[in-house]
Amino acid sequence: MQKINIEIAIGISFILGLILPLVGLGGVFSLFVMGFVATFLTKEEITSAKVGAIATGIFCIIFFFYGFLTPPTLPYVLPNPLTLGIFVALSGLFNLILSLIVSLIIYCAFGLLGGYIAMKFFIQERKKKSKIPSRPPRRTLKRA
């Protein structure tokens, strides 16, 4: 296991998440690998499966806004939603916000799963020392 800060580990997994679809390994597998790599690269004292979920969540938000700002090419002109009524525009805004929430849940779930696999199989268990002794000392009665 490497000794890297959380921020750098998330950045490395983000770059890996951009490279994997170019190689042909995109989709759910790339999200799982991003969570795995982000968790695996962090320091042992501060690592958690949540690191993978955070990495894929940041990737989801950036990917969402990139897709939001780049419109698709349409073969025809769509009507203005305001001419159809204000409720059509509000339903589109509701669908946009709901899609962001659902995609965040899905991305973070797969990142958390990858981080959990990294924690379970590749990171040693931390030995916790309890302050309570395993066996209490014997009490003796002094009789006179």
Helix axes 50-69, 6-23, angle to 10 degrees: 60
% of the chain surpassing 70 pLDDT: 88
Dump pLDDT digits (tens) for 6-64: 889 899 999 999 999 899 888 899 999 999 999 988 888 778 889 999 999 999 999 99
Long-range contacts of 67-74 (CB under 8 A, 24+ apart): 68/96
Instruction: Look at 80 and 102; give whichever has higher pLDDT.
Output: 102
- Owner of token pair 């965040």: 104
Instruction: Look at 62 and 79; give whichever has higher pLDDT.
Output: 62
Q: What is the mean pLDDT of the chain?
A: 84
Task: Report which of 10, 19, 33, 59 is spatially closest to residue 115, judged by C-alpha positions.
Answer: 33
Note the pLDDT of residue 135.
Answer: 73
Note the pLDDT of residue 25.
Answer: 86
Note the pLDDT of residue 88.
Answer: 75
Task: Report which of 59, 61, 35 is spatially closest to residue 49, judged by C-alpha positions.
Answer: 35
Note the pLDDT of residue 81.
Answer: 65
Please compute the mean of the pLDDT values over residues 101-121 and round it to a whole number. Answer: 93
Note the pLDDT of residue 71.
Answer: 82
Note the pLDDT of residue 144.
Answer: 65
Residue 2 DSSP symbol? -
Q: Cα–Cα distance between 110 and 56 in angstroms, integer?
A: 8
Note the pLDDT of residue 125.
Answer: 62
